[in-house]
Structure 1
């Protein structure tokens, strides 16, 4: 198992503040499976409006965080290093609980299909041991 720091992640994917949502990724199987972490703090820009006096992490940010974890896992494999990822779709996504400041999201992702430059990832997001969201996302990889 390899643990990637925020510096490692920034070498793999092009995302930067304020749109880099992953703090750490454990690669369990390069290119296939891993676990990402996001420390949710009150300082996140989206809490200014979602919602004032009742901060809740937006579902679309949870989905984006999950996709970023998936792409870090995929691009950590030697065959995909240096490529550019694009979001291609969201399927069968469900939200089970709120995510609030102080929570740490643990996001488990497995790349379940990869044909050419198109892939599908299956993910689950947890706070502690409680499932907060799960679903499937599609991505495209562009070679440089």
Structure 2
């Protein structure tokens, strides 16, 4: 057995090997290391709610993204939110059409950006924290029946921090635009 000859441990993404007696060929070690460090499954587009739930910690009714249609690692992502009349958060005054609150749209853009960052295998065991929202402009309201297309681009990206720029459109009109700063932290 290979385990009688050496022990392997993985701490914070680093692999430590130490020999506990006997001889082990380098081919056996490479094969075992590949098995331990095998990469996670790549994303297959389009991502549906089930695939999104495997990336984000959010669940219904707080999951505000229905589908991911485009994805370029560390560059951009495009998601879709279908607004239905059954949404609990719709604000409606008598005699007026129901409207999605701007804060919900901002959260939807943040969730699409979080999918972009957390989709990387090294970030899957982390949480993303939005630490700043800047220059957010609400141009037009979103109504039930609208399909909101959310595009998020990376402006700056470091190992534990970054900045995203998001644009949400519906019916060919920009309804929201803004920047978000995020930080990555460990899951507790």
* TM-score, length-scaled by structure 1: 0.91
The structure richer in strand per residue is 1
2:50 matched residue in structure 1? 7
* Structure with more relative contact order (C-alpha pairs < 8 Å, separation 6 or more): 1
Secondary structure of the 1:11 match is helix
Task: Please say which of residues 59-68 and 84-93 is displaced more in the overlay.
Answer: 84-93
> Alpha-carbon deviation of 1:31?
3.3
- Say whether 1:37 aligns with 2:48: no
Count of residue correspondences: 142
Task: Please say which of residues 110-119 and 89-98 is displaced more in the overlay.
Answer: 110-119
Larger Rg: 2
* TM-score, length-scaled by structure 2: 0.71
Q: Which runs of 5+ in 2 are unaligned?
A: 1-43
Misfit runs of 4+, over 3 Å: none
**How well do the aligned residues superpose, as a CA RMSD in angstroms?**
1.5
Q: Which runs of 5+ in 1 are unaligned?
A: none
In the aligned structure 1, how far is the partner of 2:120 from the partner of 2:46? 14
> Alpha-carbon deviation of 1:128?
2.8
Say if 1:132 and 1:124 are closer, same or farther in 2 by CA, change over 3 A: same
2:169 matched residue in structure 1? 126
Secondary structure of the 1:132 match is strand
1:114 counterpart (157, 162, 180):
157
